Chains A and B, each alone.
Chain A
Amino acid sequence: MSARSDVAVQARGLVKTFGATRAVDGIDLTVPAGSIYGLLGPNGAGKTTLTRMLATLTRPDAGLARVLGYDLGSEADAIRARVSLTGQFASVDEDLTGWENLVLLGRLLGYGRAQAKARADELLDAFGLSDATNRQVHKYSGGMRRRLDIAASIVVTPELIFLDEPTTGLDPRSRNQVREIVRALAAGGCTVLLTTQYLDEADQLTERIAVIDRGKVIAEGTSSELKASVGSGVLKVRLTVAEQRTAAADLLTRTLQSPAHLEPDPGMLSTQAGGPVRAAEALSELTRAGIELTDFTFGQPSLDEAFLALTGQPATTKAAS
C-alpha cells in the first residue's frame, strides 16, 4: 500500500464528450482509500465513461484527477501499475482456457514462468474454478466467467480495483458469490470502486455512494444519508374508497403542510410527514373526517424511492454531503 494518500480517488471537474453528448459533465469525486465505493445510476448515466477515465483508458476532455496520489494525466503508468479494471464485458480472452488467461496476465505483470503458473493455480482454487482450469472461457457459465474476470484483476493485488457492473446479468446465486468476493477484496485492504444500477447492491455492499445521472453527480453520501436527504419520513396510506382520494389529499396537505402525491394505485397517497408524531396526527384527522384506510406505512424512503426522487428532479436536489 502506498503511503502517499488515504484518498484513493480525487477528481475535480472531469468532463468527457462524445460528439454532442456530454457523457461525463463535470464530475467531482472523492473515494476514501480502503472502502467499497458505489457509483449508482441508470444506463447511460456516465458511470462506465467515468470508470474508464479513472482507469486510464479514456482521456478526459477537461478536469483533473489523482488516483492513489498519482496524476491521471502525467503519471498514467504509475496508476496502471496499481489499479485493475474488470469491465462490463468479459475482460478475458474467451478462446483461451481460464488457466492460460491467468498465466498470461501473470507473465505480463512480471512473474517468472513458475510463479505465474503457481499464481494461476492458486487463484483458480480460491475462486472455485479449479474444475474448469483447462476449459476454454467461452464454455464457462456467466458466473464462472465473472469470477475468472475478477481473479484476473487480482493476479497482482491492486491497490484500487474498478468493477464495472460486476453482477449485471448474473443469476442470484452467482451474484451473491461475486458480492462475497467484493467484500473479501475490501477486507484484504483493496479499495473497490464499483458501478451498479441495482439499488439493493449499492445499499448492501458499499460504504459510500455517488448517484450519477446524465453525466453529473446528483447526490453523494452513505446510503442512509441519501435516504434521509430525500425526506425524513414518508407516510403512505391506502383508502378503502378510492373516490375519497381528492378529499384525503386536501386534508393531508393541510394538516402536514406538505403536498400529498397521488400514487399510481388509485387508492393510494403519499406525503412527507416529517416525524412519527405528526404522521399519527394526520392519520387521526383522516379518521375524524370519515375517510377509512385499509392500511398505511410510515418510514424512511427506500433507496429506490430516494433514487427516483433524486433522478426525477436533479435541479432542485440537495446533495447529502
Chain B
Amino acid sequence: MTAITAPEPTLDLTPRGAIATTQRPARASALSTSLTFSWRALLKIKHVPEQLGDVVGIPIIFTLLFTYLFGGALAGSTGHYLQFLLPGSLVMAVLMVSMYAGVGLNTDVTKGVFDRFRTLPIWRPSMIVGALLGDACRYLIASALVLALGIAMGYRPAGGAFGVLSAVALLLVFAFGLGWLWSTLGLLMRTPSALMNMAMLVLFPLTFASNVFVDPRTLPGWLHGFVDSNPITHLVTADRALMDGTATTAQISWVLIASAALTAVFAPLTMRIFRNKQ
C-alpha cells in the first residue's frame, strides 16, 4: 500500500504493444499443467514456509514429551520407547501436513484465483493433482525433520536406510490418497480455519486411538477392537515393520489398497464438486 504516496512519474503503460505480440500457443498437456501446478505448490513452500512449522511442531513436541516423560514407564527405558514411537511420529507428522492439501484448495476457492484457474482451457483435475504432487515435497521435509530429531535422540532403524526410505515412500502414497479426502472437504468447508479445526478433530482422536503411542494389547477389549480397525493403526504397523526390517506383503498391501480406495472414492467426488462449484 506504499506505492501510491510517492510522486511517481507518469506510468509508461503500453498494453497495446503487449496485446499485439501474442500468438495462441497449443493447448498444454495434462501432465504439463499438473507439473506446473506442483511448481506453484513448491513456490508456496518457498514463500510461506511457516505453514509447515504449524503442523510439524505437534509431532515433534509429542515425540519429545512422550519419549522423555512416559518412555521409561511405558517401555522400561526412553531408548526402547523411542524405537517403538518414532515410526508412529513420522506417520503423525505426514498426516498432519496432509491436511494442508484441503486448506490450500479452500484458500484458493475463497480468493478469486480459483476462478481464474477454472476459466483456463486445461485438464481440470490438474489443479488438484498438481497440488497433491507438490505436497509430496512438504511430506519429505516433514519426514526429514522427524527422522533427524529421532536419530539425534538415539533412534536406530533396524531396517536401515532402505527400510526408512520405503516407509517414507509408503507414507507418501497414503498421504496422496488422503489428500483427495482433504480436497473434498476443502471444497465443501466455508473457511480454511474451519477445515483445519475439523481436520484436527478427526486426526487427533484417530492418532491417539491407534498404535502410534502404545501397544494396543494392553487396551480393554472394546478399544482394542476399535484400534485394530483404525486405518492409522494399519499404516503405522506397515511403516514400523518397514523401518524394523520385518514388513510383510500383507501389511504393505493393506496400505496400498486403502490408498487406492481413498483415491477411487474421493478423487471423483472432488472433481464432481469442483465442476459444480458455483
Q: Which residues of A contact B4 (CB under 8 A)?
A: 141, 143, 171, 173-174
In the complex, per-residue mask of B74-114: 1 if CB is within 8 Å of any chain A CB, else 0: 00000000000000000000000000000000001001110
For residue B25, CB closer than 8 A to chain A, the reply is yes
Q: Answer whether A110 and B27 are a contact pair too, CB < 8 Å, given A122-B21, A141-B4.
A: yes
The count of residues in chain A whose C-beta lies closer than 8 Å to any C-beta of chain B is 66
Separation of A213 and B278 alpha carbons in the complex (Å): 21
Residues of B within 8 A of A150 (CB): 15
B26 at the interface (CB under 8 A from A): yes
A310 to B32, CA, bound (A): 51
**What residues of chain B lie closer than 8 Å to A188, measured between beta carbons?**
15-16, 19-20
Return chain A residues, CB-CB under 8 Å to B211.
none
On whether the beta carbons of A127 and B13 are closer than 8 Å, the reply is: yes
Query: Of all chain A residues, which has the CB nearest B44?
Result: A95
Among A92, A96, A181, which residue has its beta carbon within 8 angstroms of that of B13? A181
Q: Given A80-B119, A91-B115, A188-B20 in contact, is the A156-B25 Cβ separation under 8 Å?
A: yes
Residues in A with CB closer than 8 Å to B24 are: 156-157
Q: How many residues of B contact A (CB 8 A)?
A: 45
Binds B, one of A100-108, A259-267, A275-283: A100-108
**B220 on interface, CB distance cutoff 8 Å:** no
- Beta-carbon contact of B1 and A141 below 8 Å: yes
Instruction: Please determine whether A108 and B28 come into contact, CB atoms closer than 8 angstroms.
Output: yes
A177 touches B115 (CB 8 A): no
Q: Write the nearest CB–CB distance from A102 to chain B, whole angstroms.
A: 11
- Known A87-B116, A141-B1; contact A136-B47, beta-carbon cutoff 8 A: yes
B68 within 8 A of A: no
Interface segment among A56-64, A220-228, A230-238, A288-296: the answer is: A56-64
Q: Report which of B1, B36, B116, B122 forms a contact with A152, defined as CB distance below 8 A.
A: B116
Q: Is B250 an interface residue (CB 8 A)?
A: no
B278 touches A56 (CB 8 A): no
Residues of A within 8 A of B276 (CB): 59
Chain B 11-42 interface 0/1 with A at a Cβ cutoff of 8 Å (1 = within):
11111111111101111100011001101100
Chain A contacts for B33, CB-based, 8 A = 107-108
Interface residues of A (CB under 8 A from B): 18, 52, 55-59, 77, 80-81, 83-85, 87-96, 100, 104-105, 107-112, 115, 119, 122-123, 125-128, 132, 136, 140-144, 150-152, 154-157, 171, 173-174, 177, 180-181, 184-185, 187-190
Closest 7 CB pairs of A and B: A188-B19, A126-B18, A110-B25, A128-B11, A81-B121, A91-B112, A91-B116
Using A108-B36, A111-B25, A132-B3 as known contacts, list a sample of 13 further A-B pairs with CB atoms less than 8 Å apart, ordered by residue number in A.
Answer: A57-B115, A89-B112, A92-B112, A92-B116, A94-B111, A95-B43, A96-B40, A104-B36, A107-B39, A119-B22, A141-B4, A157-B22, A184-B13
Q: Can you give 20 A-B contacts (C-beta < 8 A)?
A: A58-B278, A89-B111, A90-B111, A91-B113, A91-B116, A92-B113, A95-B47, A104-B36, A109-B120, A112-B25, A125-B18, A127-B13, A151-B18, A154-B22, A157-B24, A173-B4, A181-B13, A188-B15, A188-B16, A190-B19
